[in-house]
Structure 1
Amino acid sequence: MPKNVVAQNCGCAPNLCSSKYGYCGTGDAYCGEECREGPCYATPKPTTPSGDFSVADDVTSDLFNGIINQADFCYIEEMDGASKDYCDETNTKYPCIAGKNYFGQGPLQLTWNYKYGTAGQENNFYGLNAPETVANDPVLSFKTALWFWMTNVRPVVTQGYGATIRAINGAVECNGGNSATVQARIGYYTDYCNQFGVSRGDNLSC
């Protein structure tokens, strides 16, 4: 089992390994088979999982939304995010706090005041007053990403890849909002599906 994980994965510290997926940490998952850099070592031969298993069960379409959101996971904050307005003033339940910005942060680039407010309520932190916590706290960063995926994306995965794009950033990208980004997402997703030899399914766009 891995002993240590850090949130940023581009250029690991000297004492950490970069896994085949680009994450930093120690243990077999990071320093073993296909370790990319750092104090890598050989890993024991992996055991075969029992029962029925396929790559499609483990590699979900949401993974590829994360890839494109973070430009291969190298950014924990949205590029030029501070210059963008993600304050929905009509949402009175989670009102914006003066001086705080709700641009994309974390593995799934959480955006908008109401999402930070809900994420904070569900994960025990003050999301409206301290949205930067999603980028600065590695554990909380991934807790909010998992919460967002389970709450918003998982319920629509059977509807196709396009539905996951809509669930993550539909207000900005779908219905012609940013066709280039949508096509980039589809391109990443299709490329990886081809590499894994799995069907990309229907309803790719939004």
Structure 2
Amino acid sequence: MASWREQAVARSVDPVRARAEKRVQRFLDAALELIAGESGKDFTVQEVVRKSGQSLRSFYQNFSGKHELLLALLEEAVYSTASRLRETVAEEPDALSRLRRFTVEYHRLCRPPTEARSQRSVEILGMADFAQQLLTDDPKEASRAFAPMFVLLEEILDEAAAEGSMRAGLDQRATAGAMLQAIMFNSFALAISGSSVRSDGEGGEQAEALWDLLAHGLTHHP
């Protein structure tokens, strides 16, 4: 099924597709600016229209409403994050190292910011509340939105299995889903355990602890 961005652009006829793409991007950029400001995710469609400099009619030609706009923003955030992670983990020499790097880096990217949010942090973190709500209310939509991240992690798991770095018989798809949930939940919910955020905001120690748990489990192995 096409992404919400693709669906929005596809509503326009082919000769004006390029202009439609620009209009969609202007709405997305306007929404991101509002999320980064005082409105947060509680912005209104009217605010997006006003900030984008476009018309309300144009908005509804591209999106059915605010929910669809939020879906497009979430997909953009996940796609850009997965692309950055793919480049980052490629620096590692083997699959197990790439798996550890994925865990630590994605954990870092998911951490709530300790300082004023930059545009980059908005891309990654601004949709956190919406993503959590979507996971509960509409798992199918959430699964589609997080597909780029899931595909990347499953690829790394397959490589690790081929290298013999993982025990045989694991369901890679289920493992990828469990790891993503663990990383995202742990990064946002450290307060549950009373853990403090490091002064640099990176959360490196917590990320390494999570990796150790994922890699070695809880029990002694014979």
Q: Decide: shared fold, TM above 0.5.
A: no
With a CA cutoff of 8 Å and minimum separation of 6, indicate the structure with the bigger relative contact order.
Answer: 2
Larger radius of gyration: 2
Q: Which bracket does the TM-score occupy, shorter chain normalised?
A: under 0.3
